[in-house]
Amino acid sequence: MSRRSKAKLAEEREPVPLTEEEQKFVKDWQANPMRKPLVKKVSINFSVGASGPELEKARELCETLTKQVPAEGKAKESVRGFAIRKHEPIAVFTTLRGELAKEFLKKSLWAIEDLISSKKFDMHGNLSFGIADHLNLPNIKYDPKIGVHGFNTTVVLERNGFRVKKRRIRPHKIPMRHKISKEEGIAFFKHEYNLGVE
């Protein structure tokens, strides 16, 4: 059975079992819907490591996959060993929000067969993982003009009320009781996206 076939079957498997602590999080969300985490944004980064034709191919691929015009990432310092000059464009990236973010997230999780290590989560429940081959995404065909590229995906979670930290008038810190923990982030992805976490 191919890797893609296994990933397709992952959508039909039974729900991922939750621990007692994770079940408490789900009950809390059901009792208090405003406390349920939300996907704030999904960032996609193609780090080529050099400017030129390869960067242009990555830019074209990023725009094809996300339907958005990507921005350039520039080197912060010169690296002689890799022939990289300071301020030289070496990456392209874009940020998705709303339904586009959720749709791309589902495709990205499909590409990793809905299974990930708990080490990929940070202390605030955000998730970062890499995809070595963009052809692992569903319904993507090989284009010899572009080749094969890998990219990194970062998913940032937030909760209703987080905007008080960034608002212009009377900003406030987010209290600890309202922040999202690593354990709650794992519970969210298990419950909402049926993601297996090792």
- CB count in 10 Å sphere of residue 26: 17
pLDDT given for residue 89 in this prediction: 75
Task: Please provide the distance, in angstroms rounded to a whole number, between the alpha carbons at the two ends of the chain.
Answer: 22
Q: Are 11 and 4 in contact (CB under 8 A)?
A: no
Per-residue pLDDT tens for 4-31?
Answer: 444 444 556 688 888 899 999 999 999 9
Name the CATH topology of 3-197: 50s Ribosomal Protein L5; Chain: A, (3.30.1440)
Is the pLDDT confidence value at 1 over 50? no
Instruction: List, for residues 90-136, the tens digit of each pLDDT value.
Output: 788 899 999 999 999 999 999 888 889 999 999 999 999 998 888 88
What residue type is 56 in one-letter code?
Answer: E
Q: How many CA within 13 A on the CB side of residue 11?
A: 11
Q: Tokens for 46? A: 């193609």
The whole-model pTM stands at: 0.85
- The continuous run of DSSP H or E covering 46 comes out as strand 38-47
